[in-house]
Amino acid sequence: MAKTKPGKKDLDSYTIKGTNKIVRPGDCVLMRPSDSDKPPYVARVEKIEADNRNNVKVRVRWYYRPEESIGGRRQFHGAKELFLSDHYDVQSAHTIEGKCTVHSFKNYTKLENVGAEDYFCRFEYKAATGGFTPDRVAVYCKCEMPYNPDDLMVQCEGCKDWFHPSCMGMTIEQAKKLDHFLCSDCSSDDDAKRSLNTFPLSPPVELKVEPKRRKR
CB atoms within 10 A of CB 59: 17
Task: Give the model's pLDDT for residue 188.
Answer: 73
**Chain-centre distance of CA 97, in angstroms?**
19
CATH number for position 39: 2.30.30.490
Task: Mark whether 161 and 78 lie in a shared domain.
Answer: no
For residues 98-103, average pLDDT: 97
Between CA 171 and CA 177, with CA 172 as vertex, the angle to 5 degrees is 100
Q: Yes or no: say if 140 and 153 are a contact pair by the CB < 8 Å rule.
A: yes
Domain assignment of residue 157, yes or no: yes
One-letter identity of residue 182: L
Domain with 182, as residue range(s), is 152-197
Domain assignment of residue 171, yes or no: yes
Task: Mark whether 172 and 107 lie in a shared domain.
Answer: no
Task: Give the model's pLDDT for residue 50.
Answer: 94
Task: Mark whether 13 and 103 lie in a shared domain.
Answer: yes
Task: Give the model's pLDDT for residue 65.
Answer: 97
3-state secondary structure of 206: coil
**What does pTM read for this prediction?**
0.79
Task: Mark whether 117 and 57 lie in a shared domain.
Answer: yes
- pLDDT (tens digit, 9 = 90+) per residue, 16-63? 988 999 999 999 999 999 888 889 999 999 999 998 888 999 999 999
Sorted by sequence, the CB contacts under 8 Å of residue 168 that are 6+ apart come out as 154, 175, 183, 184
Task: Mark whether 30 and 81 lie in a shared domain.
Answer: yes
3-state secondary structure of 149: coil
Could you check whether the bond before residue 165 is cis, i.e. omega within 30 degrees of 0? no
Count of helices and strands (H, E) across the chain: 3, 14
Q: Of 137, 167, 188, which residue is a domain's last?
A: 137
**Looking at the predicted structure, is the pLDDT value of residue 197 above 70?**
no
Domain count, the chain: 2
Q: Give the DSSP H or E segment for 172.
A: helix 172-176
Domain assignment of residue 36, yes or no: yes
Q: Of 107, 137, 167, which residue is a domain's last?
A: 137
- pLDDT (tens digit, 9 = 90+) per residue, 176-194? 888 889 988 888 754 444 4
Task: Mark whether 117 and 164 lie in a shared domain.
Answer: no
